[in-house]
C-alpha cells in the first residue's frame, strides 16, 4: 500500500508541470506536483511569452492573465532587435521583432485577444504554481522523483523527501514527467527520442547594471553582440538580454563544447559583461552564472501507458525563437482536459493517445526550428566577412569596408541588411507560434481539403476552422456579461462548446441531449442579431467558414474538433457520432 494516493502525480513545477497542475485543479482533478528543490525557478530563463501561451493563462482566468501582464515587460518595449559590436559600440543593424512592425502588430491584434510580452520564468512559474495550489494542487517541494512502476490500474512512484532523507511512495492513476531536459521519467519510461544532446556549449551570466543610456532609445529584449568568439557554441551570437528594463540583464555567451566547460566565477563573468557592453569600467552587481548545453533532441512518442512526458522532458532545444516554456505550457493545455475527461469517466483511454499524436509533431517542429535559427546567424557573419571566427581587427576592417563607396561596399550593405532581415524566422515567427493544426483521433475531419497556408506558414498565422486548427479569434458582443468577448472566451474552461448561428438552433438542442447521454456539459452559443452573442462587425461570420446553420464543435483547448458547414439532417446523430469518436467512448 502506497503512502499517498492521488489521481495525477506531476514531477516538476516548471512551466509545464505548474501549468498542468493549475489546469487539472481548475477542472477539479486531484493532483500532486513535486519539485526536487525548495522553490521554483531561481533564474529567469524563459521570457518571450507568446499569444498562444497567454490564451492558456486567460483560460485559467482573467485574473491569472492580468497578473502575468502586471509583471511582464510589454510588447512595445520588446522589439528593436539590435545587432552591434557592443552596446556602447557601433550598431551593425536592427530588425523589428516580436510583432513590433506595424504590419506584424496588426497580425498579432487580429490573431488573438492576448498580447505577446516578456515575462521572465521567475515570474511565470509562481503565477502558475500559486494558481495550481490555490485551486487544489498538493505542492511538495524538496521532494525528488526516484523511480516508478506502472501496472494496469495505476502507477506507483517512489519519491525521496529531501528534508528527512526518507523515501515514500505515491500511488496515482497517471504520472506526468515535467521534469525538464534531463528527465528521468522519460528515461525510465523508455520513450523513444531522436537527435542529440550537447551540440553546443553556453553560459548564462545574470547581473544588475543600469544600461539605460545604451538601450532606452532602442528598446528591445535582445541585443546581439558580434565579437571574437561570438560564433562559437552558444545560440548563434553573443547576447545581452533584458530581464527588467533597463537594470537587470542576462548575458548568453558560447563556449566550445569540445573543450571543458569554463569556470564562470564573478571575475570571469564581470569581464564578459564589460566586454559585451563595451564599457571596461562598467559597475555591475553580479547575481549568478551557470553553464548549459545546446540540445537538439525530441521525443517521437510522449506517452507510455499511464505515463506522459511534456515540456523540456520531451523537447530539448536552444532558446532561439523563445519556444521552450511556451510549448511546455501548451503541452499542459493539450493534456489536462484529456486526463480530466478520462478520470471523470467521460472518455476512453484512447483519447490519451491523441496527446502524443498531436504534441510529438510540435516537439519535432520546434526543436528543428530552434536549432535552424542558430545556423541562420551564419549569413550575418558571412556578410561581415567573419566566418570561421574573427578577431577585432577583422571585425573593424569589415565594419570599415561597409561604409565605403562603390559597388562592393554597396553589395556588402545589401547582404548585411538581407541577412538581418532573414532572422525574422527566429524573432518574428508568428506562424510557428500560432499555426498548430492537429491530426489525431480527437479530431474528426469534415471532408473539406486542407486549406494549407496563404503565406509562409512559419512567419504568418493563418486562421481557419478546418478541424484540428485552433479556433480563430474574433471580437463579438456578449449580452450576458455586457462586454466585448473573443470567440476564444466563449470556449475553453474545460468544456466542449458548440458555436452556431441563427437557424442552427437544432444544434443547441442536439448538444443538450447528446451531452446528457454522454455525461458531458456542452456549452452552446448561437451567434447573431438579437441573440445572446452578436457579431456586429461581421468578423466572426468571415472567419467561421460555416453557414449560420452550420456548427463548430470546439474542444476545451480551443481546437476545432469537427465542423458542419450547414445544418445536418440529424444534428443529434452527427454530434453523437463525432463526440463518441473524439472521446473514444
The contact set with ligand FAD (CB under 6 A) reads 11-17, 34-37, 45-48, 121, 144-145, 178-180, 184, 204, 252, 292, 311-313, 319, 322-326, 328
Q: Indicate the residue among 121 and 487 with the shorter CB distance to ligand FAD.
A: 121
Please say which residue, 169 or 513, places its beta carbon nearer to ligand FAD.
169
Q: Which is nearer to ligand FAD, 176 or 527 (CB)?
A: 176
Inter-axis angle of helices 15-26 and 121-134, nearest 10? 30
Please, what is the minimum distance in Å from the beta carbon of residue 310 to ligand FAD?
7
In which residue are the cell numbers 553556453 written? 202
**Are residues 506 and 567 in contact, defined by beta-carbon separation less than 8 angstroms?**
yes
* Eight-class DSSP state of 475: E
Q: How far is the CB of 329 from ligand FAD (least distance, A)?
A: 8
> Helices 51-60 and 324-343 meet at what angle, rounded to 10?
40
For ligand FAD, the closer of residues 178 and 287 by Cβ is 178
Nearer to ligand FAD, 557 or 574 (CB): 557
Could you tell me which residues are beta bridge partners of residue 552? 499, 563
Q: Going by C-beta distance under 8 Å and a sequence separation of 6 or more, which residues neighbour residue 179? A: 11, 12, 17, 145, 185, 186, 313
Which has the closest alpha carbon to 256: 231, 223, 274?
231
Distances (CA, A) of 343 to 56, 347, 352, 469: 21, 8, 11, 25
CB of 108 to ligand FAD, least distance (A): 16
Quote the least distance from Cβ 388 to ligand FAD, whole Å: 25
Residue 163 makes CB contacts below 8 A (sequence gap 6+) with: 142
Q: CB-hemisphere CA count at 13 Å for 161?
A: 11
**By C-beta, is 294 or 474 nearer to ligand FAD?**
294
The C-alpha angle 465, 470, 476, rounded to 5 degrees, equals 75
Alpha-carbon separation of residue 384 from 15, 388, 564 (angstroms): 38, 12, 55
CB of 12 to ligand FAD, least distance (A): 3
Expressed in angstroms, the distance from the first to the final Cα of the chain is: 31
In the complex, the smallest distance separating the C-beta of residue 189 from ligand FAD, rounded to whole angstroms, is 13
Q: Which is nearer to ligand FAD, 93 or 324 (CB)?
A: 324
**Least distance in angstroms from the C-beta of 536 to ligand FAD:** 36
Q: How far is CA 488 from the centre of its chain?
A: 18
Report d(CA 333, CA 19) in Å as an integer.
8
Q: Min. distance of Cβ 517 from ligand FAD in angstroms?
A: 38
C-alpha–C-alpha distance, residues 329 and 574, integer Å: 33
Minimum CB distance to ligand FAD, residue 325 (Å): 3
Please, which residue, 458 or 545, has the CB nearer to ligand FAD? 458
Of the pair 36, 208, the CB lying nearest ligand FAD is at 36
Amino acid at each position: 500500500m502506497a503512502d499517498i494516493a492521488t489521481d495525477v502525480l506531476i514531477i516538476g513545477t516548471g512551466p509545464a508541470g505548474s501549468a498542468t497542475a493549475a489546469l487539472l485543479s481548475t477542472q477539479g482533478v486531484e493532483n500532486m506536483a513535486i519539485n526536487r528543490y525548495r522553490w521554483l525557478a531561481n533564474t529567469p530563463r524563459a521570457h518571450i511569452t507568446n499569444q498562444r501561451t497567454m490564451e492558456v493563462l486567460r483560460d485559467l482566468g482573467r485574473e491569472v492573465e492580468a497578473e502575468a501582464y502586471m509583471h511582464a515587460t510589454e510588447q512595445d518595449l520588446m522589439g528593436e532587435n539590435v545587432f552591434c559590436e557592443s552596446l556602447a559600440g557601433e550598431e551593425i543593424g536592427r530588425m523589428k521583432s516580436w510583432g513590433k512592425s506595424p504590419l506584424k502588430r496588426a497580425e498579432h491584434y487580429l490573431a488573438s485577444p492576448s498580447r505577446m510580452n516578456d515575462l521572465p520564468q521567475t515570474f511565470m512559474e509562481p503565477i502558475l504554481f500559486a494558481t495550481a495550489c490555490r485551486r487544489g494542487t498538493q505542492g511538495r517541494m524538496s521532494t525528488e522523483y526516484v523511480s516508478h512502476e506502472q501496472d494496469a490500474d495505476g502507477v506507483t512512484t517512489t519519491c525521496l523527501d529531501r528534508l528527512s532523507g526518507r523515501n515514500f511512495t505515491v500511488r496515482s492513476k497517471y504520472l506526468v514527467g515535467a521534469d525538464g531536459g534531463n528527465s528521468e521519467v522519460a528515461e525510465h519510461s523508455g520513450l523513444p527520442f531522436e537527435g542529440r544532446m550537447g551540440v553546443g556549449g553556453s553560459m548564462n551570466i545574470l547581473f544588475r547594471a543600469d544600461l539605460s543610456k545604451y538601450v532606452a532609445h532602442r528598446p528591445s529584449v535582445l541585443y546581439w553582440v558580434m565579437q571574437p568568439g561570438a560564433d562559437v557554441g552558444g545560440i548563434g551570437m553573443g547576447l545581452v538580454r533584458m530581464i527588467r528594463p533597463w537594470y537587470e540583464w542576462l548575458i548568453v555567451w558560447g563556449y566550445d563544447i569540445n573543450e571543458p566547460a569554463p569556470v564562470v566565477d564573478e571575475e570571469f563573468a564581470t569581464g564578459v559583461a564589460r566586454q559585451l557592453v563595451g564599457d571596461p569600467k562598467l559597475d555591475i552587481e553580479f547575481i549568478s552564472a551557470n553553464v548549459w548545453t545546446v540540445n537538439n533532441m525530441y521525443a517521437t512518442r510522449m506517452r507510455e501507458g499511464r505515463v506522459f512526458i511534456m515540456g523540456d522532458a520531451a523537447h530539448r532545444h536552444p532558446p532561439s525563437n523563445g519556444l521552450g516554456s511556451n510549448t511546455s505550457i501548451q503541452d499542459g493545455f493539450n493534456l489536462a482536459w484529456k486526463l480530466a475527461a478520462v478520470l471523470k469517466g467521460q472518455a476512453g483511454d484512447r483519447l490519451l493517445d491523441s496527446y502524443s499524436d498531436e504534441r510529438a509533431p510540435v516537439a519535432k517542429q520546434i526543436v528543428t526550428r530552434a536549432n535552424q535559427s542558430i545556423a541562420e546567424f551564419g549569413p550575418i557573419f558571412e556578410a561581415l566577412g567573419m566566418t570561421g571566427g574573427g578577431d577585432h581587427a577583422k571585425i573593424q576592417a569589415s565594419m570599415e569596408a561597409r561604409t565605403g563607396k562603390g559597388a562592393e561596399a554597396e553589395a556588402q550593405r545589401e547582404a548585411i541588411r538581407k541577412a538581418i532581415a532573414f532572422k525574422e524566422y527566429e524573432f518574428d515567427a508568428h506562424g510557428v507560434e500560432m499555426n498548430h493544426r492537429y491530426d489525431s483521433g480527437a479530431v474528426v475531419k469534415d471532408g473539406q481539403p486542407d486549406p494549407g497556408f496563404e503565406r509562409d506558414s512559419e512567419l504568418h498565422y493563418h486562421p481557419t476552422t478546418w478541424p484540428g486548427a485552433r479556433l480563430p479569434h474574433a471580437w463579438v458582443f456578449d449580452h450576458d456579461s455586457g462586454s466585448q468577448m473573443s470567440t476564444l472566451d466563449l470556449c475553453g474552461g474545460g468544456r466542449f462548446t458548440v458555436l452556431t448561428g441563427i437557424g442552427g438552433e437544432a444544434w443547441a438542442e442536439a448538444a443538450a441531449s447528446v451531452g446528457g447521454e454522454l455525461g458531458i456539459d456542452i456549452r452552446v452559443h448561437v451567434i447573431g442579431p438579437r441573440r445572446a452573442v452578436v457579431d456586429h462587425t461581421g468578423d466572426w461570420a468571415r472567419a467561421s467558414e460555416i453557414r449560420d446553420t452550420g456548427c463548430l464543435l470546439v474542444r476545451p483547448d480551443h481546437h476545432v474538433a469537427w465542423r458542419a458547414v450547414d445544418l445536418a439532417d440529424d444534428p443529434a446523430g452527427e454530434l453523437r457520432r463525432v463526440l463518441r469518436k473524439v472521446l473514444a467512448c
